[in-house]
Amino acid sequence: MTTTAVGREVTYLEAISEALDEEMSRDERVFLMGEDIGPYGGAFRITEGFQKKYGEWRVLDTPLAESGFVGAAIGAAMMGMRPVVEMQFADFISCAFDQITEVAAKNHYRWGAAVPMVIRAPFGGGVHGGPFHSECPEGWFFHSPGLKLVAPSTPYDAKGLLKAAIRDPNPVIYFEHKFLYRRIKAVLPTEDYIVPIGKAEVKRGGTDISVITYGAMVHLALEAAEALMKEGISLEVVDLRTLMPLDKETVFESVRKTSKAIMLHEDNKTGGIGAEIAAQLAEECFDSLDGPILRIAAPDTPVPFSTPLEEYFLPKVSDIVNAARKLAAY
């Protein structure tokens, strides 16, 4: 576990670890379940040292059975606990799909039972993981009423959103991007804080084009914005942070201002979250639009393994730059 002195920089990964540690200290209802999270500290070492501190029941190594332990988390949550389960990789969440969509998502609507639980899902590519260790599964769950989805892009949000997720009375899937784990750092406040679920953030103000994005792609958008500034194109970058419920207000406000929009995500293009936001804009902000709504996303294939294939597959800064130029010229 990472303890941070005032002002010490922490990585995105350490921010997640800190949030878990602080919430477990603060609230004894919070406990962790997953594969290899105990003595081993998890595949990514997020819970390193936790079992020593909290014991083998609050940091509980499960059998290899995602449906079983997600189901168990639902049961414990309904009894008043606050379970946080770890998918070893987000990809394996497909094994627990039925429990998440049919049980966790619907219990409250059907019969009023709150299911306050969090599923941590290390997702995303750029790590040579291939088709089964790189997936972005958020699109599936976005289409299941009753779930909340968050996807932080910075250490600050990673910590604050995880705390908010743990304190939320609903099932929340927390998408943590593996590529960011050790690649970005930030100095975090020493006092307790949360980042509220349902609030997007304008990461960079701009006037010409809004880029609506989340997760690792936020950093690409910021890079592109920097590059485009030199060409006199001003990008506004909106980091959704919460994918469900969407912060329509912030998105709409941005697009009403710039009148042009690019959806950017690493998930497959067809049926991705960018499609929904584009549809909302086309329905509710049509009169403000001065050009087509462009989408930049991964193509509709599994995530390929080999380096040139994966590089081709993932959205790039140049894709954003090209799209912005096209739109600016519109």
Ligand X SMILES: Cc1ncc(C[n+]2csc(CCOP(=O)(O)OP(=O)(O)O)c2C)c(N)n1
Looking at the Cβ atoms of 207 and 318, the one nearer to another protein is 318
> In the numeric block, which tokens belong to residue 56?
């083998």
Give the footprint of another protein on residues 101-160 (CB under 8 A): 102-103, 106-116, 128-133, 145-146, 148
Examine residue 7 and tell whether it contacts a second copy (CB under 8 A): no
Residues shown for the chain: 330
Coil vs helix vs strand at 173: strand
Looking at the Cβ atoms of 54 and 89, the one nearer to a second copy is 89
Site for another protein (CB under 8 A): which residue of 5, 6, 7, 80?
A: 80
Coil vs helix vs strand at 265: strand
DSSP class of 315: -
143 is catalytic: no
State the nearest-atom distance from the C-beta of 35 to ligand X, in Å. 5
Dihedral over Cα of 113, 195, 35, 126: its sign: positive
115 binds, among a second copy, another protein, ligand X, none (CB under 5 to 8 A by kind): another protein
Which range, of 13-21, 154-162, 179-187, 296-304, touches a second copy by CB under 8 A? 296-304
Examine residue 61 and tell whether it contacts another protein (CB under 8 A): yes
User: Are the CB atoms for 201 and 188 separated by under 8 Å?
Assistant: no
Q: How far apart are CA 149 and CA 9, in angstroms?
A: 27
Binding mask 98-137 for a second copy (x = CB under 8 A): x--xx--xx--xx--------------------xx-----
Give the footprint of ligand X on residues 84-123 (CB under 6 A): 88, 92, 95
Selecting among 108, 128, 133, 265, the annotated active-site residue is: 133
Q: What is the dihedral of CA 67, 69, 70, 71, to 10 degrees?
A: 80
Residue 39: asked if its preceding bond is cis (omega within 30°), the reply is no
Q: How far apart are CA 106 and CA 156, in angstroms?
A: 31
Q: How far apart are CA 176 and CA 159, in angstroms?
A: 11
- Kind plus residue range of the DSSP H or E element containing 21: helix 12-26
Examine residue 309 and tell whether it contacts another protein (CB under 8 A): yes
Strand ordering across the sheet containing 209-213? 201-204, 235-239, 209-213, 261-268, 294-298
Give the footprint of ligand X on residues 60-89 (CB under 6 A): 64, 66, 88
Q: How far apart are CA 119 and CA 178, in angstroms?
A: 15
Looking at the Cβ atoms of 57 and 111, the one nearer to a second copy is 111
Site for another protein (CB under 8 A): which residue of 2, 4, 48, 58?
A: 58
Site for a second copy (CB under 8 A): which residue of 72, 271, 316, 322?
A: 271
- Give me the residue label for tokens 């329905």: 283
Residues that bind a second copy (CB under 8 A): 91, 94-95, 97-98, 101-102, 105-106, 109-110, 131-132, 139-140, 142-146, 244, 263, 268, 270-276, 278-279, 281-284, 286-287, 289, 291-295, 300-302
